[in-house]
Structure 1
Amino acid sequence: MNNFISARRGSSPGGLVRYLFGPGSSQEHTDQRIIAADVTLGLAEGTRLDHLVDAEAIYALGRDMDSHRILLGVAPPGGWVWHCAISLPPEESLQGRRLGDEQWADIARTAISRMGFDEAVGRAPCRWIAVHHGRSVGGNDHIHLMVNLVREDGTLASTWNDRRTMSRVCADMERRYGLAAVEGRTGRGMPGYSKAEHQRMRAGQVPERQRIARLVRSCALISADEAEFVRRARRSGLSVRARYSKNSQEVVGYSVALRGQAKDGQDRPEMKDRRVWFGGGRLAADLSLPRLREHWPAPTAESAAKALAQWRREADVAGPKEADERAAYGTAAWGQAVARVDAVTAQLGSSRLQDVALWSSAARHAAALMAGLSDRMEHQGPGPIAATADLLARAAQTPAHPDRRLVRRGGLADLRGVAMVIRHARTSLGMTLLLLAVVALAHAICLWQAAAERPRLAAELDAGLERVRAAYPPPSARELAAHLGSSTAPAPPMGPPGTDPAARARPAVRRDRGGPSQGRGR
């Protein structure tokens, strides 16, 4: 359950009433009805008002919401209308969870009471209504709470800490009515989508934020340090700019945007003013700059200077290209990449489910690998692999204050080399084999999510993996034999020296360690 409180107070109760009972900005308002209201207004619960046939009653309700304030001659600076929408995610209805008007009315009265807008000892009540609509553009079942903050005695109600209070109300209602807990409330969720993004998703379009997040995640995994990350992000079609601290030139954050490219690959000047910029933390909690830095080696004076030089470049300039990396990765590299991913899957099979840092790190890496495979294999645009990468990114979000020492110690085999293979190795059957290995890794993460009491995400991830398996079935025995016969050339090292576990990877995956991962099957 989510809530959204308008950032600015209004000063026209009548205008908001007309909007709530009107058609809506996208004709999405249907079956508008009052489910609860302040007793002063004398409204019966369930009263339906249609803007086409009940215009006079709607205007009268707007006047009643503000008549006492006008009579008292009170006009608080900054407005006096508080507006909050409370909604259920679309997935709730898909899973058969719905709230009736009586339950919505209970939620509304609870919110009004917790906010202190009702009558109590020493205070006069506020005038308020709760209006239920049909589903929003994004498919959310929801209600609107509208409150005149001027009490009946002319005093002004306080809205101090209203967002935290409403968040606690939503959490309590989730428990009361058996609803799925919103992940973001525990500090590990993904940022919600805007109304415009929901509309694009309903039209079958991929929001820019998803595309950018996949690129950033892939570049972060493939990069050995901060300077390389900035350089690779710009070469991936992103504009990147730094955010500096107020009193120094220290980089404390960043924002990214998609470059509008013409067919020749050059940036179109007319698109620069239309770009939408996203801060790293707005893409996902684990893509903020402080969180990304946790996965790179501690900076030295030299590496910090190189990173600062990259940040200071123009947002669209990546600098001179390095030597071509593709030549180092032939088709034989796919086999070594499979061995590396299998080693990580086997390691997770013998790990404690309580080691959140380890599992979330695995999910983060798996999301980046899936994003890279989507770029190589889904030529018609983002498909089931890309969708699974987004689900794994959600699984990677950790509680707000985990033990970051575990992240630095890690324990996972370095998967940077695997990401390099995905990016540069020549296409062969080994790419499909690597996809299946990453699916097995993702399946282990799916079981961890179920054990971590995130059943909805676990179910979505499981369904996503099924779609990937259906779209990319395992190769036949003949195809596999031909591939193994052709992959005899030596492969390059996988990642930094001393981190390559390929020699011990195969024996590890043949042992059943009794953990959450049981191979590539379900």
Structure 2
Amino acid sequence: MIAKISRGWRVAGLVHYLMGPGRFNEHINQHVVASWDGAPELHQPELIGDGNFDVEELATDLADPAVAAGIPQTEPIRLDGGKAPRGPVWHCSLRNSAGDRVLIDAEWAEIATDLMDRTGIAPRDDLGACRWVAIRHTDSHVHIAAVLVRQDNGRRVHPYKDYPKAREVCRDAEARLGLTATAPVDRTAAKPATRAEMEKAVRRGLDETSREWLCRAARIAAVQARDPEQFFRRLFDLGVRVRPRARHAGQLAGYSVAAPGDETAEGLPVWYSGRALSPDLSLPQLLKRWASAPPPGPPIAPAPGERSQVGRAELEAAAGDALAALEQATSTVAAGEDDEVPGIAHAAGDMFTAVGAVTQHGGHGQMVPRDAADLFDRASRTPMVGQPDRLSPVAAALRTAAWRLVAVRSLSGRTGQDSAGAQLVLALAALVAEIAAYRERQGCVVQASSARRSAQILRASRGAGRASGAADGRLGRGDGPGRRPVSTPRPAPTVVHPRPGDQDDRGRKR
């Protein structure tokens, strides 16, 4: 059972959607199965014809405590482009696995009541707690809508660790009702895009949300950079708007990013902090990442007569270093050196980015599909830790090799280098498969499955990428996230390298 939690402002809009036909007429037999007062039958909206329900009374009942307390029912205008406070409407969807038996209404009602109790939104036997209802409209899931305002005193309620507690409720229900078991909370899942973000992407004709695009761009820039200034410059090269954040003494404290064209109703950029994209993309974690491994040495200069900025000797050395580092990391994981695996897994994420970058150009298509990298992303993080604090020499060597490899720009299309790219993809697939086996031994079911599927995609793409002749999907300056219709494939982004004479984000010549 999976729980998904979101926050909003308009309870009337949420209830109208939940009791309505849905965006694709997927809501069937909509009805209230549980409520704050234990009498759901009293809150069932009246059917007024053509499958529509009169939800005004239910929405009014839910919102009454907030209205009486003078709490706004609409999101305040953000004149300065800052982050608005969270709304008082709490929404949680609970969904079963497709293979589970169909639960009866009473079972769903018990799960919903247990969830309200454990999150502190409406503890059992607390008559002054928040008002809420659980609405069911398919066999496999229900939605809970709550207004986070106490009935007795009008005070706002702020659920503490509501997502981990929802996970506990789901796992207990799985065990009690014989449902498909899911993984416990391990803090490795990236923050998902909200429904509003997904709907916005669809309206703009994009195949992914700004959050997803920005997260991938930040990972690319993190592999190219060694310090915050380089990181911000690489983000700028990728078309990302960057806003560094400083403390009162001028010390850099963090950063926010925004996708071009993604604006609020007031025409202001929609900003995401690095931590909002992923915990290991916060500035403190990036600083630890850049300090975790020695930088690569100076590149081998091109031979006389070579016109390329990266000569053949450096290409071969960088590819050879990466291949050796991958093979050493794979043998270390396979040997059961479990203390070293967390660092290797996280450094493998950098190698994923580097191999994807250098094997993507040219007429051979992309050897590292974006789906493979997205799947491995979760498996690269350590449960309850995320980014490891220490890297073993093997993991550090893997990260250093990735930094050197990404600097050569491309292997595909270079005479004699196509086979090197294919070898790197297969070596990366072997390492990912060993990490999948390690995650399985840990009991990390989701991470193991993600890594295993990622390795399968890599092995399959090694041949498919050669034959496809797919167009190069370049993420460059001025490009918005997923600048392609939803119906077209989504190629992985390419690392964009600064050119002499380009301006940085402060208008200075490089």
Report which stretch shifted further, 370-379 or 330-339.
370-379
| Deviations 1:164-195, CA, capped at 9 Å, x for gaps | 24641432322331566567x43332111122
Match runs of 1:462-501 below 5 Å: 462-473=452-463
Cα distance in 2, alignment partners of residues 141 and 21 from structure 1: 14
Q: Percent identity?
A: 22
Deviation at 1:131, TM superposition (A): 0.8
Residue equivalent to 1:205: 207
Match runs of 1:53-452 below 5 Å: 53=50, 58-59=55-56, 61=58, 75-78=68-71, 83-88=89-94, 93=97, 101-114=105-118, 115=120, 117=122, 120=125, 123=127, 128-134=132-138, 141-146=141-146, 149=149, 151=151, 155-156=152-153, 160-165=157-162, 167-178=164-175, 185-199=185-199, 200=201, 205-245=207-247, 247-258=248-259, 276-297=270-291, 325-327=309-311, 332-333=316-317, 334-355=319-340, 357-373=342-358, 375-376=360-361, 385-401=369-385, 405-407=389-391, 411-413=395-397, 414-415=400-401, 416-421=403-408, 423=410, 426=414, 427-452=417-442
Q: Is the 8 A contact 1:443 1:462 kept in 2?
A: yes
Cα distance in 2, alignment partners of residues 97 and 353 from structure 1: 38
Residue equivalent to 2:41: 43
Find the residue that maps to 1:254 and give its secondary structure: strand
Find the residue that maps to 1:332 and give its secondary structure: helix
| Deviations 1:328-369, CA, capped at 9 Å, x for gaps | 656634344322321222233335335464244234324323
Cα distance in 2, alignment partners of residues 30 and 215 from structure 1: 40
Deviation at 1:156, TM superposition (A): 2.9
Cα distance in 2, alignment partners of residues 230 and 125 from structure 1: 47
Cα distance in 2, alignment partners of residues 405 and 14 from structure 1: 46
Kindly indicate which of the two structures has a greater share of residues assigned to helix: 1
| Deviations 1:362-404, CA, capped at 9 Å, x for gaps | 3432432354256437977x88621111122222233455795
Cα distance, 1:64–1:396 mapped onto 2, change above 3 Å: closer
Q: Is the 8 A contact 1:36 1:130 kept in 2?
A: yes
Cα distance, 1:460–1:297 mapped onto 2, change above 3 Å: closer
Deviation at 1:25, TM superposition (A): 6.4
Cα distance in 2, alignment partners of residues 366 and 244 from structure 1: 31
Amino acid at match of 2:370: A
Cα distance, 1:130–1:112 mapped onto 2, change above 3 Å: same
Q: Is the 8 A contact 2:130 2:148 kept in 1?
A: yes
Amino acid at match of 1:176: A
Q: Is the 8 A contact 1:366 1:442 kept in 2?
A: no
Amino acid at match of 1:361: H
Structure 1: which 5+ runs fail to align? 261-272, 304-322, 477-522
Structure 2: which 5+ runs fail to align? 74-86, 262-266, 296-306, 467-510
| Deviations 1:17-61, CA, capped at 9 Å, x for gaps | 44432345676644311112345646179x686563576764454
Q: Is the 8 A contact 2:123 2:129 kept in 1?
A: yes
Residue equivalent to 1:489: none
Cα distance in 2, alignment partners of residues 403 and 93 from structure 1: 30
Aligned length: 421
Q: Look at both structures and tell me which one has the larger radius of gyration over its CA atoms.
A: 1
Aligned-CA RMSD value: 4.4
Cα distance in 2, alignment partners of residues 212 and 14 from structure 1: 32
Cα distance, 1:165–1:347 mapped onto 2, change above 3 Å: closer
Cα distance in 1, alignment partners of residues 99 and 338 from structure 2: 27
Deviation at 1:293, TM superposition (A): 0.7
Cα distance in 2, alignment partners of residues 227 and 166 from structure 1: 35
Instruction: Provide the TM-score with structure 1 as the length reference.
Output: 0.66
